[in-house]
Amino acid sequence: MTLDQIADNILSLEGKYDITHPDYAMRRETMIDLVKNKTSLFIRRDLDRNNRADFYSRRIEVEVIPVTIGGNLNCLRTKNKIPEPVLLKGDSDFFYVGSMDAMQPFSMIKFSDIADMSGCEITGGRGRYSRKNDYLYILNTTNEAEMIAVDAAWVEIIDGSLNVDDVRLFDVTYEFPASRDMIDRVTTAITEDLRKSINI
């Protein structure tokens, strides 16, 4: 199912808005946001309880370009913004960030700590990455590739054939990346929340 279809189903169950209602499009956008948020919550809970990283992990391959930060630190940065991953418990929102062949994983570093690395020499190719403003910055690495791999649980990645640049444009018209039972759980939870808010 697509996000549009899931949102339409929830609106149908709610019974307050039909497609001819002047506020239908606005209400549908609200439902789309609710579906993404609730799905992220359920995925995060499932990962916390069962550690099913292999079930939820999906890989994207992103292009990196050389950039300079703070006037003196050379590093790589993703050419385009990456989608928002599902927030995970712990230090990182990614299962893996590194070289395409998985031979060089990168460790997370806070963006505020990057300035302290300006005098660091490359040590054994142990790369670091930091995320800021939806870009990934890759530091202290011998990796000269033009692409890196990023594994995470996403609610915005919807089709493996899409470029990352296209994700935000097409995320409501392609299949939503959740199993049928997850969609059912999300639909039930949202409709129950809507009923409770009416009865308050």
Q: What is the pLDDT of residues 115-141, one digit of tens each?
A: 555 555 444 456 888 888 889 998 876
Question: Is the pTM here over 0.75, yes or no?
Answer: no
Q: Name, of 49-53, 64-68, 122-126, 161-165, the range with top average pLDDT.
A: 64-68
Mean pLDDT of the chain: 79
C-alpha–C-alpha distance, residues 48 and 72, integer Å:
40
- Using the predicted structure, report yes or no on whether residue 188 has a pLDDT greater than 90: yes
pLDDT at 124: 45
149-185 pLDDT, tens per residue?
999 888 776 555 555 556 555 555 667 777 888 889 9
Q: Give the containing element (helix H, strand E) for 39.
A: helix 24-50
pLDDT at 122: 45
